[in-house]
Amino acid sequence: MRTAIELNELTKTYGQRRGLDGLTLQVRAGEVFGYLGPNGAGKSTTIRLLLDLIRPTSGTARVLGLDPRADAVELHRRIGYLAGDFVVDGRQRAGECLAFLGGLRGGVPVARITELAARLELDLTARIKSLSKGNRQKVGIIQAFMHDPELLILDEPTSGLDPLVQQTFLDLVTEARTAGQTVFMSSHIMSEVEAVADRVAIIREGRLVATDTVTDLRSRSFLQVRLTFADPVRPEEFSVLPGVTDLVLDGTTLTCRVDGSPDPLVKAAARHTLTGLRADTQDLEELFHAYYTGHAA
Amino acid sequence: MTTPSAPSSTPSLGTSALARAFGGSLFAKTLFDNRRVLIAWALATGLLAMMYAAFYPQISADSLASVPEAMRGFGLDDATSAAGYLQGAVFGLLVPLLVVFYGAATGARMISADEESGYLDLLLAHPLGRVRLLLHRFAALAAGAVLISAAVLAAMLAVRTSAKLDSITIGGFAAQTVNLALLAILFGALATAIGAATGKGRATVFGVTAGLGVAAYALRGFAPQVGADWLRHLTPFDYYIGGEPLKNGFQPADAAVLAAVTIVLIAAGAWRFTCRDVAR
């Protein structure tokens, strides 16, 4: 399988401060890769290294098989980039800005820009300084997507977007993957990555904490179950079941955690009369929070 | 002519024809984005130069005798000829200092301001290359300097007869304004290079460049007082006006010195720019 991004012991220090500490990571061509971490974890540092805006202290990065520095111009032609804080001159109109940026890429069909603007509901004739943060972000999204790059590098792409536009954005990401494009997107919110990412990496304080598929991460999470019975039950009946932990029995209400299959618990509960059942998957936010704070199992 | 509200079969980006014409390259875009400030600089500099030049008939030798002895080096006391007067008040003081500030202010915007705002990140993420970006920006600054100098030349030619400046040839005026453009470009190169090399903010780059400009100007003025005439040759102002182009016409060697210093500054700035991290 081809590799879109390959980082090898990538390290970046700013004076005493460590931005990135020996990061090794592969992003496969054609996948949507979520890059997660709290603010200040080194997400933007990584992205700016990929774009040759900053240079590594040590270690190497290969992007689309090329060197970010030596092949910068060639690479940038094939990359779409959205910065964490998308900034352009506010005096110009959105369409003017996009036409100019397209021009720097040798021209982008006007129809492509208007199509994206229509989908994101952006008024291209509006002056950028008159736009809200969310609408400005749409300009950023369009300029990253408009030339259908092989690789999209998106730093906190959904910040400021309302939920409807967020959905449109996620559709764009899904379509990009279908078209064979690779998407590398950072976020500090799991839920916005969860919906589209094939794999995620979690970084914290410049180090890689975990990489996994979203499916595996999800399967690693447990169920939080609450059962309400018509009559009191004995705790021993349930505490011995495989995968059941943290059992609390309060009269007729039983709460516990279930790792793995819920089948034994359901079968055991079926011997009694149930008046209520509630099962929540553990919020992935919680899982990531555990990684962030360094308390993951 | 179609009305804006009419549905159009050809997609439009809501851009004006002017914006489209100037959106083709970073050079053209920079000029377009700075069109108002450039026109304001050109008009203001041209008008001020015209105003001061127009005073010439009212200037008598008496009024200039009051220039203190210590200020002789600035050349403000020669009213014996039109060229002498213009080399003092207009081309010796007002206009060169204005273009130093133009160079410092515009040069500080070429890299520093965009780096400060974060816009530089976006531009450099495009297939452009750092050196090309710098050269496009600098070319726009230089074009602005030429515009300002052209405005000054036009202003001089406009009042040449009415202000009794006929003793100066058109070639003399042209030679002096060419040097003026080169001076503006040199200080623009200095500011651009400082920003490109260091990544310092716009205010710092402007301050340092303008400060160096004023210091160099003062050095040239006071050097004869301290018996160190040779110091004058270390300042760009000496190559700008020392050869008295108003009287002697175009001085290729002086112009070459100004151009060479500019090239060295830009080359050094570009080199450092390619080596360093872009600030956030």
Reported ipTM: the value is: 0.84
What is the side-by-side order of every strand in the sheet holding A79-82?
A79-82, A151-155, A182-187, A32-36, A199-204, A207-213
pLDDT at A282: 67
pLDDT at B63: 61
Q: Does residue A81 sit at the B interface (CB-CB below 8 Å)?
A: yes
A&B contacts, CB < 8 Å:
100
| pLDDT above 60: residue A27 | yes
CA distance B144 to chain A (A): 19
pLDDT at B20: 65
Domain ranges of chain B: 25-55+94-275
The per-residue pLDDT of chain A, averaged, comes to 90
Q: Does residue B9 sit at the A interface (CB-CB below 8 Å)?
A: no
Do residues B246 and B86 lie in contact, with contact meaning Cβ atoms separated by under 8 Å?
Answer: yes
Confidence band (pLDDT; 50, 70, 90) for B160?
very high
CA distance B20 to chain A (A): 7
Instruction: List, in order of start, the domains of chain A with CATH numbers.
Output: 3-213 (3.40.50.300), 222-281 (3.30.70)
pLDDT in tens, B193-223: 999 999 999 999 999 999 999 999 999 988 8
Confidence band (pLDDT; 50, 70, 90) for B226?
confident
The b/e string for B266-280 (b: 16+ C-beta within 10 A; e otherwise) is: beebbeebeeeebbb
Query: What is the mean pLDDT of the segment spanning A237-250?
Result: 89
* Cα angle, residue B263 at apex, residues B262 and B264 outer, rounded to 5°: 90
Do residues B237 and B183 lie in contact, with contact meaning Cβ atoms separated by under 8 Å?
Answer: yes
Read off φ and ψ for residue B49, nearest 5 degrees: -60, -40
Angle between helices B26-33 and B130-159 (to 10 degrees): 50
A222 versus A159: the higher-pLDDT residue is: A159
Put simply, the answer to whether A103 touches B13 (Cβ < 8 Å) is no
| pLDDT above 60: residue B7 | no
Q: Does residue A161 sit at the B interface (CB-CB below 8 Å)?
A: no
Put simply, the answer to whether A74 touches B15 (Cβ < 8 Å) is no
CA A28 to chain centre: 15
Q: Does residue B24 sit at the A interface (CB-CB below 8 Å)?
A: yes
pLDDT at A178: 96
Query: What is the mean pLDDT of the segment spanning B222-247?
Result: 90
| pLDDT above 90: residue A217 | no
pLDDT at B5: 41
Cα–Cα distance for residue pair A225/A253, rounded to 1 Å: 11
Name the percent of chain B lying above pLDDT 90: 71
| pLDDT above 90: residue B21 | no
Do residues B115 and B279 lie in contact, with contact meaning Cβ atoms separated by under 8 Å?
Answer: yes
pLDDT at B23: 64
pLDDT in tens, A112-135: 999 999 999 999 999 999 999 999
pLDDT at B10: 45
Query: What is the mean pLDDT of the segment spanning B17-23?
Result: 67
Name the percent of chain A lying above pLDDT 70: 95
Put simply, the answer to whether B26 touches A104 (Cβ < 8 Å) is yes
pLDDT at B230: 87
